[in-house]
Amino acid sequence: MKQFWKSMLRSPSGVIGLVILLLAVSVALFGPMLFPNSPWRMVQRPFLPPFTLSTVPLGTDALGRDVFAGMIFGARVSLLVGLVSTLVALVVGIPIGAMAGYFGGKVDDALMRFTEFFQTIPSFALAIVLVAILQPSIYSIVASIAVVSWPPVARLVRGEVLSLRTREYVQAAVVTGQSNTWIIMREILPNALSPVIVLASLMVATAILLESSLSFLGLGDPNLISWGYMVGAGRTVIRQAWWITVFPGVAILISVLGLNLIGEGLNDALNPRLSREGR
């Protein structure tokens, strides 16, 4: 573990990524405490340009709502949706991949055809259809992002399990009569986790992008303010008020960038052999 942090902190991308993530998480956790009022509330005249009033540093939108407050509350939605949908995708993808890799044969065939099927469907289009049909809410958004993002997890885990299954210590466990579940859970999966962690960090980034795109199209949770929604709302008035679209977009860019950098840092730390030669 110590070793892991050491190499993680040695990679510049990992450090920058961690700093960005810490910042984003603290904004999401503590930010709303500084802004006790709802971000939906009108605080000033509409279209107040940024940097004119210190109380409303980033200006107001078409309805006089505080852009800065919206961004702070939006951080919550983005990070939450990103994390939870990735977790759900892992919960679906890991067992499917593990079973396919461990049992092989017909089970593997069936599960992998199923996975490939979901991988062929255009993911964003499916997410749109799912959210539209289930009605936009934070639950349908998380569910649909999870539905479109589990297949790579299953494929990755399958590959790892496939190569670990033939190792001697696994064979030993089989000989001693351990149950399949026990072997998969205790012997195989812990050793297959590091590439999954790398993938997961990248998945959170993709999930944030997906959520913002859905919200931008008007498929966000109508009760929660989010970055994508803000950009979408500012779109029609972009000629008069550039700041409404620019700032929330920067927030998305920075968070996604941070998570991608963490992914790279994790990759360096967890698969040192690959990364040294790769760069």
Partner 1 sequence: MLSFISQRVVKGVIVLLAIVVLNFFLIRLAPGDPAVVMAGEAGASDQVFVKQLREKFGLDKPLPEQLFIYVKGVVTLDLGFSFRQQAPVAKLIGERLPATLLLTLTAFAISLMLGVLFGTFAARFAGTFLDTAITVFALIFYAMPIFWVALMGILLFSVTMDWLPSFGYETVGANLTGLAHAVDVAKHLIMPAMTLGLFFMATYTRMTRASMLEVKRLDFVKTARAKGLSDAVIQRRHVLRNALLPVVTLAGVHSGTLIGGAVITETVFAWPGIGRLMYDALLQRDYNLLLGVFVICSAMVLIFNLITDLVYRLVDPRIEFAS
Q: What is the DSSP letter of 235?
A: G
Stretch of 82-90, 101-109, 182-190, 252-260 lying at the interface with partner 1 (CB under 8 A): 252-260
> DSSP secondary structure string, 136-170?
SSHHHHHHHHHHHHSHHHHHHHHHHHHHHTTSHHH
Is residue 239 part of the contact set for partner 1 (CB under 8 A)?
Answer: yes
Q: What is the DSSP letter of 50?
A: T
Is residue 249 part of the contact set for partner 1 (CB under 8 A)?
Answer: yes
Cα separations (Å) of 52 from 6, 55, 57, 60, 255? Answer: 44, 9, 7, 11, 26
Pairwise CA distance, residues 89 & 35, whole Å = 33
Token reading at 213: 């795109």
Return all residues near 93 (Cβ < 8 A) that are at least 6 apart. Answer: 150, 151, 152, 153, 154, 157
Closer CB to partner 1, 184 or 214, in the complex: 214
Residues 40-59, one symbol each (x = binds partner 1 by CB under 8 A, - = not), give: --------------------
The torsion of the CA quartet 212, 269, 94, 18, rounded to 10 degrees, works out to -30
Closer CB to partner 1, 98 or 127, in the complex: 127
Distance in Å, CB of 242 to partner 1, minimum? 6
Closer CB to partner 1, 180 or 240, in the complex: 240
Is residue 232 part of the contact set for partner 1 (CB under 8 A)?
Answer: yes
Is residue 138 part of the contact set for partner 1 (CB under 8 A)?
Answer: no
Distance in Å, CB of 249 to partner 1, minimum? 4
Distance in Å, CB of 119 to partner 1, minimum? 8
Exposure on the CB side of residue 249, measured as CA atoms within 13 A = 12
Under a CB-based contact definition with an 8 Å cutoff, are residues 245 and 229 in contact?
no
Stretch of 42-50, 63-71, 177-185, 249-257 lying at the interface with partner 1 (CB under 8 A): 249-257
Q: Is 222 helix (H, G, I), strand (E, B) or coil?
A: coil
Is residue 153 part of the contact set for partner 1 (CB under 8 A)?
Answer: no
Residue that is written with structure tokens 């092989």 in the block? 104
Site for partner 1 in 75-134 (CB under 8 A): 117, 119-130, 132-134
Is residue 273 part of the contact set for partner 1 (CB under 8 A)?
Answer: no
Stretch of 27-35, 60-68, 191-199, 229-237 lying at the interface with partner 1 (CB under 8 A): 229-237
Stretch of 3-11, 79-87, 176-184, 226-234 lying at the interface with partner 1 (CB under 8 A): 226-234
Cβ burial 178-194 (10 Å sphere, 16+ → b, else e): eeeeebbeebbbeebeb
Residues forming contacts to partner 1 in the complex (CB under 8 A) are: 117, 119-130, 132-135, 205, 209, 212-213, 216-219, 228, 231-232, 235, 238-239, 242, 245-246, 249, 252-254, 256-257, 260-261, 277-279
